[in-house]
């Protein structure tokens, strides 16, 4: 892997985090005006069309992409991610982008903590120490016992837990299925699940908001394309740390566009969580090369 490819991969990841942050801002706006289930359902329709188009243009077409050796795992993955998206978007509405992303940033720590019991991977004491520090960061953000605990804060934490399980299931699925197959099931299963759940909440949308909805769908496809390119041209361990920039970009949007505030405890807690997450990523890389 050349240095040039690594730099290109990092650039793709930075662009990806910016696109996803913009997507979160649009989602917050639309979910504040319309039912979350309907917004996510329309988004998944476009996403499914995108993954089917990508699959059809590769050797073997859709049939090859849909050929899985573990259909239950793939269906569970797709359904879990769709549910997580709904929960996270609800968190944007209830808490805002800043606090939601600050808490959600803990998901890599949850992946590290659960990788042992779920996947049988070894987690050393250093990573356990980092995981513990990360949860200290969460407590600093939530401030239990100092102020009245906000039940809404559980929403992004639940989303982080769901996304962590989704990540673990993706790792498990990769043992037998290709990335193309997992990507195909992520979009198609999610679209089916959201259609079954969301069609009951359909409501008319204004023309300006349809424009935002179309933009949301396009950014979703664009973000997944740049993410795929990031992992295609560079090693995951090199580009993954830059995924935390989504927290920075989304928080900036929350402050500038939605008038949110960045409280000191949230900033300190988020910094601890990100530092702990980066350390676990580094230790994971060290463990793999040892």
Q: Give the span between the Cα atoms of 241 and 6, in whole angstroms.
A: 13
Is 282 or 40 the better-scoring residue by pLDDT? 40
Q: Give the span between the Cα atoms of 100 and 94, in whole angstroms.
A: 9
Alpha helices in the chain (DSSP H): 3-33, 36-56, 61-65, 71-95, 97-104, 107-119, 125-142, 154-173, 179-198, 207-233, 236-239, 245-256, 264-289
What is the Rg, in whole angstroms, of the alpha carbon atoms belonging to the chain? 19
3-state class of 144 per DSSP?
strand
Q: What is the pLDDT of residues 43-89, one digit of tens each?
A: 999 999 999 998 998 888 899 999 998 999 999 999 999 999 999 99
Residue showing tokens 């995924």: 243
- Residue 286: both structure tokens together: 């060290």
Confidence of residue 287 (pLDDT cuts 50, 70, 90): low
Q: What is the DSSP letter of 147?
A: B
CA-CA distances (angstroms) from residue 13 to 9, 56, 182, 214?
6, 25, 20, 23
- Residue 265: both structure tokens together: 């405890």
How confident is the prediction for the chain on average, in pLDDT? 85
Does residue 29 contact residue 262 with C-beta atoms inside 8 Å?
no
Q: Give the span between the Cα atoms of 88 and 102, in whole angstroms.
A: 12
- Indicate if the pLDDT at residue 36 is higher than 50: yes
Q: What is the pLDDT of residue 148?
A: 46
Q: What is the pLDDT of residues 179-235, one digit of tens each?
A: 889 889 999 999 999 999 999 999 999 999 999 999 999 988 888 888 878 877 777
3-state class of 142 per DSSP?
helix
Q: What is the pLDDT of residue 147?
A: 47
3-state class of 133 per DSSP?
helix
Closest C-alpha among 276, 177, 217, 275 to residue 41: 217
Domain count, the chain: 1
What global pTM score does this model have? Answer: 0.86
Q: What is the pLDDT of residue 47?
A: 92
Domain containing residue 86 = 3-289
Q: Give the span between the Cα atoms of 84 and 193, in whole angstroms.
A: 12
Does residue 32 contact residue 95 with C-beta atoms inside 8 Å?
no
Residue showing tokens 């580094």: 282
What backbone torsions phi and psi does residue 60 show, to the nearest 5 degrees?
95, -20
Task: Count the residues in the chain.
Answer: 290
């Amino acid at each position: 892997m050349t240095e040039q490819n690594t730099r290109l991969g990092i650039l793709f990841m930075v662009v990806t985090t910016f696109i996803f942050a913009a997507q979160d801002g649009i989602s917050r706006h639309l979910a504040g005006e319309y039912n979350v289930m309907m917004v996510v359902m329309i988004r998944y329709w476009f996403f499914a069309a995108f993954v089917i188009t990508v699959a059809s243009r590769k050797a073997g077409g859709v049939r090859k992409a849909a050929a899985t050796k573990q259909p239950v795992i793939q269906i569970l993955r797709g359904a879990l991610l769709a549910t997580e998206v709904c929960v996270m978007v609800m968190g944007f509405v209830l808490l805002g982008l800043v606090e939601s992303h600050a808490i959600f940033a803990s998901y890599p720590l949850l992946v590290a903590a659960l990788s042992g019991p779920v996947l049988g991977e070894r987690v050393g004491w250093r990573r356990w120490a980092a995981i513990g520090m990360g949860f200290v960061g969460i407590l600093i953000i939530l401030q239990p016992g100092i102020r009245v605990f906000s039940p809404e804060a559980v929403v992004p934490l639940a989303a982080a837990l769901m996304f962590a399980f989704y990540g673990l299931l993706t790792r498990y699925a990769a043992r037998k299925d290709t990335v193309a197959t997992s990507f195909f099931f992520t979009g198609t299963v999610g679209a089916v699940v959201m259609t079954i759940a969301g069609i009951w909440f359909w409501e008319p949308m204004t023309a300006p908001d349809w424009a935002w909805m179309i933009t949301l769908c396009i950014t979703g496809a664009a973000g997944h394309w740049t993410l795929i390119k990031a992992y295609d041209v560079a090693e995951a361990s090199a580009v993954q740390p830059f995924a935390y920039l989504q927290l920075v970009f989304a928080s900036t949007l929350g402050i500038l566009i939605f008038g949110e505030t960045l409280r000191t405890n949230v900033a300190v807690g988020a910094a601890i969580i990100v530092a702990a997450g980066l350390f676990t990523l580094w230790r994971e890389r060290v463990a793999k090369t040892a």
